[in-house]
Amino acid sequence: MSKGNSLLAIRPACLAALLLAGCQTLDPDWRREASTVIQDGGRTAIHELFPGVTWAAGDSGFRLLPDGVGAFVARVWLARSAGRTLDLQYYMINADDTGRLLTGEVLAAADRGVRVRVLLDDIYASPADHAIAVLDSHPRIEVRLFNPWTRRRGPLARAFNFLLDPRRLNHRMHNKLYVADNHAVIIGGRNIGDEYFDLETRMNFRDLDVLAAGPVAAQASASFDEYWNSEWAVPAAGLMDHVPTAADLASLRAALATHRETMRDSAYVQALGNSVIAGQLASRNLALETGKARVLADSPAKAGRAGGEPRAFLIQRLREQASGAAHELLVSSPYFVPRDRGVEALTGLVKDGVAVSVLTNSLAANDVGIVHSGYARYRAPLLRGGVRLHELRALSELATRREGRRRFGSEYVSLHAKYLVIDRRLLFVGSLNLDPRSIERNTEVGLLIESEGLARQAAALFDLASGKAFSYAVTLRDGMNGRSDALVWTGEQPGGRELRYDREPDTGWWQRFTVWLAGFLPFMESQI
């Protein structure tokens, strides 16, 4: 055998060695101790943020957070006011401007004695392993990674890990939860990152969170504890390639302080003192709606190879609530793939006299275009059954004018808000997309709130976003009873001038072709 042939024969073995050797950088069996929320009954500064509200037995107070800056401010104020515990559970925390600002606030809370627990899904975490290990080394901070990759050095190692264990790694924790002192919680659709707080320069997400204070926060803490103490949550201390020192922690603290100084004149740092919500929090006069609520959450066992018990999934409880609509159902879902069962359920409600409206992304506004191929095939059946469809525009003249007045962020938008309004009296806000991945594979969490006042506020947001100034109304060209499945999109320019399209608006032929082609892949729908 020639020397060249010998090299060729060795290369596959070398590749395997490179993928395996030194890549086991997270020990999945690292020792862990169970911990639960601190339920000390004493009042902290968190309680003092809501002093003027008298809640009936079992009621909580609620504030919608539709604006990215307000949602950022609320999180910072909870971090600064926490006196005992701060628990964060997220699919993704970015190391961008807002991510670093919030990390700085969390670190400052730990420095003054608050116990901080951070549970992060491992889908995008590995590039930040060193920073995660440094944070975890703080005596008052513990970080755990949910359903982690064990081979973490680069995309090849992760791909090899996925090939070895695809059924497990295809399940992700999509929850978004931020709990302070077992008394206040933020739940909704936002991850931690610039695009969720209107700071991204390319495209921002239009999202919705709810700030809740009172007894419902204890339910959120219980859900967090269940995930935290599950077999799927692996301590970041098991990142064996990263053994941080006290100097590393001091360096991170200094870097975050320097970054905050560079952001001093930004809309975000300024908003911490001069925004409406900051003023209301500072004066202890935050306007809240009251009502009863339940935290609906998937079990962490959904991440198991068997996928958990479907009857226990969040979606089952949400379907029960939606099926009880008597007059109106409003659905906002950025990724909307109803499948035949969903079409049947929604059109069945229409037959029973319920007005059903769905707001989702247009192809141009969808940040995951391939999801659109799963959605598109169901538009005609939904429309024939009387469901009203609205698709958010990626760019509208009215949105551009508003963006110009704000002087930050991008004028391009994508829907990311996930909520349902039932009869304008019941509201669900959470992390759940109405697509197969969220329903069957990801774990999700949300709040089901019985508050007519809050439900009406959410309905008003839906009415504004689904109006033709910001979205396209999608209809059948020949009407509900026509033979053709051809669609028409209509919108409005400022002044009332109509926009009308007979193909996916604001897109090019290649984008439309690739989405159309993806629709023929037999396995694709179950993965989106």
Which residues have a catalytic role annotated?
174, 176, 181, 416, 418, 423
Half-sphere exposure of 324 (CA within 13 A, CB side): 12
Residue in the structure block whose two tokens are 């962020």: 409
Which residues have a Cβ under 8 Å from the Cβ of 234 and sit 6 or more positions away?
Answer: 26, 27, 28, 30, 32, 144, 145, 146, 148
Half-sphere exposure of 14 (CA within 13 A, CB side): 6
Report in angstroms the alpha-carbon separations of 166 from 160, 161, 171, 329, 385: 10, 8, 9, 37, 38
> How do 177-180 and 487-492 pair as beta strands?
unpaired
Count of C-beta atoms within a 10 Å radius of residue 497: 9
Find out whether 297 and 447 touch, Cβ atoms under 8 Å: no
CA atoms of 519 and 411, how far apart (whole Å): 30
- The identity of residue 25, as a single letter, is T
CA atoms of 262 and 265, how far apart (whole Å): 8
Q: Show the tokens assigned to 433.
A: 């997309």
> How do 85-90 and 60-65 pair as beta strands?
unpaired
Find out whether 267 and 408 touch, Cβ atoms under 8 Å: yes
> How do 204-206 and 413-415 pair as beta strands?
parallel
Angle, to 10 degrees, between the axis of helix 3-20 and the axis of helix 154-164?
80
Among 313, 305, 263, 289, smallest CA distance to 104 is for: 263
